[in-house]
Amino acid sequence: MERWITTLCAVALLGFAAVSDGHAATLLIGNTETSSIVQIDTETSEVKEFIAAGSGGLISPDDLTYGPDGNLYVSSGTNTTGQILKYDGKTGAALGVFAETPGLRRPYGVAFGPDGYMYVSSFRSDEILRFDAETGDFFDVFAAGDGTMDGLNGPNDLLFTEDGRLLVTTQGSVADASGEISFEFDSQVLAYDIETGVGEVFVQQPSPSPDSFGFVSFLGLTIGPDDLLYTSDFANGIRVYDPFTGTLLDELDTNFTGTTPSGNFIGNLAFLEEDLFFVGFDLNNGDLGSLLLATDGAPDVFLTDALLQRPIGLTVMPQPIPLPASLPLLFAGLIALRGLRRR
């Protein structure tokens, strides 16, 4: 019996190792300037096109989100138009328009909720819209700004927390009927109860980064491996918050050009295992983009490449679990167990 248990444990460990040895190393970056998406292998630093400029009708891809089906959903649109486009998550092949409605204007954040809906922030209409997560059919306007402080003023990124709250970053801007915006309020992080639709301010506008032009513009949201909330500020800086209380815990420098006020602006952010990557572009160098690593000190420039033009969107490409490699080990284990049972 002891030998049987030992063999079983060994087989289980070998099988687990074979299944778990995949390493996600590819990042996808959306270029708002060229309306294209590139991929970067962080192990080899290879940069290449993933979705060609304008493919499938792509316009200014501000947000890249992998859906439950493994496909890539990309926000696309202008000040007065908007669509969520669907692409093959592995090849980048265009799969058509997944979701659209006349009220969707310059969509930014996309998030799949636990209630079976896809939530989309309509940046130029100050709304969050809901679509059926399987069919893409429009369902309703989940939340809308009313032109007052602490409201949905210029919604950017969306993120669901483990307890089911919907977080949204706001720029603090208000759009008119033509989609033009004016900056009237603070940039904040709001939290919504998706059952009641009630929202509240979760994070008030912090003090501007000393390297910025004197303003704050919350943009990206992600939960780190330490279970803390990380936010990017378009104007400069990454801030870390307690995801339950909204307490500010840390601030990371993102001024990779070393200019004051900074000539670089920041897009979205994403964790690749323990490494926190973010994208940025240099306003003083033709919006040339860079992929960067956040550190406790000055940010590290991972690479700068001509294929990156005013990058904003950023996501990690999921890697397939190498199940076939584990099958021989599992079969060997079963044969071994069968042999032990016959003795």
What whole-number distance in Å separates Cα of residue 136 and Cα of residue 130?
Answer: 9
Query: Where is average pLDDT lowest: 30-44, 259-273, 315-329?
Result: 315-329
Q: Is the pLDDT of residue 47 over 90?
A: yes
Q: Is the pLDDT of residue 176 over 90?
A: no
Query: Is residue 338 one of the residues assigned to a domain?
Result: yes
What domain count does the chain have? 1
DSSP state of 285: G
Local confidence band at 295 (pLDDT 50, 70, 90 cut-offs): very high
* Whole-number Cα distances in Å, 262 to 200, 236, 240, 283: 32, 8, 21, 9
Q: Are 281 and 288 in contact (CB under 8 A)?
A: yes
Query: Is residue 16 one of the residues assigned to a domain?
Result: yes
Q: Which stretches of the chain are DSSP H helices? A: 2-19, 323-342
User: pLDDT digit string (tens) for 205-229?
Assistant: 999 999 999 999 999 999 999 999 9
pLDDT at 276: 98
Cβ neighbours around 176 below 10 Å, total:
9
Q: What is the mean pLDDT of the chain?
A: 89
**Sequence-ordered list of residues with C-beta below 8 angstroms from that of 227, at least 6 positions apart, any chain:** 243
Selected residue with higher pLDDT from 58 and 332: 58
Going 228 to 129 to 86 to 116, the CA torsion angle's sign is positive
Query: Is residue 14 one of the residues assigned to a domain?
Result: yes
- Report the DSSP beta bridge partners of residue 65: 73
Query: Is residue 87 one of the residues assigned to a domain?
Result: no
Query: Is residue 328 one of the residues assigned to a domain?
Result: yes
Query: Is residue 48 one of the residues assigned to a domain?
Result: no
Query: Is residue 84 one of the residues assigned to a domain?
Result: no
Q: Is the pLDDT of residue 19 over 90?
A: no
What whole-number distance in Å separates Cα of residue 294 and Cα of residue 291?
Answer: 10
Full domain range(s) for residue 10: 1-22+321-343
Query: Is residue 196 one of the residues assigned to a domain?
Result: no
The percent helix, strand, coil of the chain (3-state, each to 5) is 15, 45, 45
**What is the secondary structure of 299-342 as a DSSP string?**
PEEEEEEEEEESEEEEEEPPPPP-HHHHHHHHHHHHHHHHHHHH
Q: Are 136 and 128 in contact (CB under 8 A)?
A: no
pLDDT at 328: 47
Give ∠ CA 196-201-202 in degrees, rounded to 5: 95
**Sequence-ordered list of residues with C-beta below 8 angstroms from that of 286, at least 6 positions apart, any chain:** none
Local confidence band at 100 (pLDDT 50, 70, 90 cut-offs): very high
Q: Is the pLDDT of residue 182 over 60?
A: yes
**What pTM was estimated for this model as a whole?**
0.87
Helix axes 2-19, 323-342, angle to 10 degrees: 170
Q: Is the pLDDT of residue 270 over 90?
A: yes
* Whole-number Cα distances in Å, 157 to 190, 205, 263: 11, 16, 23
**What is the secondary structure of 110-162 as a DSSP string?**
EEE-TTSEEEEEETTTTEEEEEETTT--EEEEEEE--SSTTS--SEEEEEE-T
If DSSP codes are grouped into helix, strand and coil, which group holds residue 213? coil
Residue of 52, 269, 82 lying closest to 159 (CA atoms): 269
Q: Is the pLDDT of residue 285 over 80?
A: yes
